[in-house]
């Protein structure tokens, strides 16, 4: 049930990013306006995810997930009935609400429902479903726009959160109740005081920073060396395929190396492939580097999720909410910081800077003395 809800939720968010941007352009919006529209999908979750995690620990996940699904449904219906830019901004905000609730609650549930021996496999399956939603959503909405138009595509996309509403209404009683029903003082600084939590937050943000900046600057670099749009698309797709493949073999790698050793290795190898990007001068070379980078860091997100859950001390929602808050801040600040570096010094220092930060992540992520591998 969790995997079905995840497929519906992540398909909605990725498709909405494409649909709302193209819809706004069709209404005559300027690129700056489209950028603000896209930012709404991350600004709203940034403000909500920690509080949602606290609520999950207190009341469980069913009604929170239902609220998120209903928000996504209303969000997709707004621009179907009102074909205006304000309606699109309302849709983006409501889809951001849906993303916030789905991300925190589903990640918390997949960890809560998993026995220690099954957690690696279940989180790996969850990450594969999320990747499938990231692929299917834009694909479906693209064909819907071409054949039905932007407004009708919103109605098609509304079927995704509607499926979540139906599943939660009919079978939501399958979900567990809150594990920590007794109220506890809500203080994020108390959670941050735990060294294990701080370490995992640092690793999660560094991994998110590296992946986002790689995917953000790869097309820019490809354009700078004269690659066509279709070639750049193939280069980007090679990363997605590799990341999906990495998550399939991730349980076996964890069995052999342990979570922390594998995470540290992904940072170090990822740093090396960052440095290879400015040395690649053809589409084939860049696609190869992109594929190898995807193989290395494809398990980075699931690994930080597993380790954060292990350090959550009975408050998985609160800990995972903090993780997502830091990740969203990173996704907003990273491109701005590196954009300033690129404007002042060019693209090469951006790749060197990111490689250095990946090395820092590898050092921080090295297994600590006494860490036990999970089998």
75 Cβ partners below 8 Å, 6+ apart? 16, 90, 91, 92, 93, 94, 95, 97, 98, 161
What are the backbone angles phi and psi of residue 346, rounded to the nearest 5°? 100, 180
Nearest to 296 by CA among 232, 210, 173: 210
Report the C-alpha gap between 297 and 250 in whole angstroms: 11
Give the per-residue pLDDT at 27.
Answer: 86
pLDDT beneath 50: ranges in the chain: 181-182, 372-375
pTM reported for the whole predicted model: 0.72
Report the C-alpha gap between 179 and 182 in whole angstroms: 9
Helix (H, G, I), strand (E, B) or coil at 225: coil
Are 11 and 102 spatial neighbours (Cβ–Cβ below 8 Å)?
A: no
C-alpha dihedral sign at 205, 206, 207, 210: positive
Torsion of CA 353, 257, 3, 327, to 10 degrees: -20
Are 250 and 306 spatial neighbours (Cβ–Cβ below 8 Å)?
A: no
Report the C-alpha gap between 39 and 326 in whole angstroms: 16
Taken in order of first residue, the domains within the chain and their CATH numbers are 2-168 (1.20.1250.20), 195-364 (1.20.1250.20)
Token pair 């597993």 is found at 306
161 Cβ partners below 8 Å, 6+ apart? 8, 9, 12, 69, 70, 71, 72, 73, 75, 76, 98
Alpha-helical segments (H) within the chain: 2-26, 31-59, 62-81, 85-112, 119-148, 150-171, 188-192, 195-224, 229-257, 259-276, 283-297, 300-310, 316-345, 347-364
Helix (H, G, I), strand (E, B) or coil at 371: coil
Q: Exposed (0-12), middle (13-18) or buried (19+): which is 115, by Cβ within 10 Å? A: exposed
């Amino acid at each position: 049930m969790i995997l079905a809800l995840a497929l519906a939720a992540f398909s909605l968010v990725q498709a909405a990013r494409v649909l709302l941007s193209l819809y706004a352009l069709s209404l005559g919006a300027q690129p700056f306006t489209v950028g603000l529209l896209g930012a709404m999908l991350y600004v709203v979750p940034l403000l909500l995810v920690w509080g949602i995690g606290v609520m999950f620990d207190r009341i469980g996940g069913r009604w929170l997930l239902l609220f998120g699904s209903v928000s996504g449904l209303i969000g997709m219906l707004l621009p179907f009935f009102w074909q205006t830019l304000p309606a699109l901004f309302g849709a983006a905000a409501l889809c951001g609400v849906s993303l916030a609730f789905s991300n925190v609650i589903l990640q918390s549930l997949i960890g809560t429902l998993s026995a220690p021996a099954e957690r690696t496999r279940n989180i790996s399956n969850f990450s594969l479903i999320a990747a499938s939603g990231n692929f299917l959503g834009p694909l479906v909405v693209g064909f819907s726009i071409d054949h039905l138009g932007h407004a009708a595509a919103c109605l098609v996309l509304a079927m995704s959160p509607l499926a979540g509403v139906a599943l939660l209404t009919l079978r939501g009683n399958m979900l567990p109740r809150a594990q920590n029903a007794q109220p506890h003082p809500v203080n994020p600084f108390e959670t941050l005081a735990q060294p294990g939590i701080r370490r995992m937050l640092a690793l999660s943000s560094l991994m998110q920073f590296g992946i986002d900046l790689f995917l953000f600057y790869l097309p820019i670099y490809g354009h700078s060396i004269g690659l066509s749009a279709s070639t750049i698309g193939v280069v980007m797709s090679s990363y997605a395929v590799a990341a999906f493949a990495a998550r399939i073999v991730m349980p076996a790698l964890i069995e052999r190396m342990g979570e922390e050793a594998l995470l540290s290795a992904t940072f170090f190898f990822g740093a090396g492939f960052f440095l290879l990007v400015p040395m690649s001068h053809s589409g084939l070379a860049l696609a190869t580097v992109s594929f190898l980078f995807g193989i290395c860091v494809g398990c980075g997100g699931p690994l930080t999720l597993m380790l954060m859950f292990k350090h959550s001390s009975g408050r998985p929602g609160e800990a995972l909410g903090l993780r997502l808050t830091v990740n969203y801040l990173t996704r907003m600040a990273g491109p701005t910081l590196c954009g300033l570096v690129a404007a002042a010094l060019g693209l090469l220092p951006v790749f060197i800077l990111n490689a250095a930060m990946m090395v820092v992540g590898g050092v921080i992520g090295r297994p600590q003395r006494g860490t036990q591998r999970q089998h």
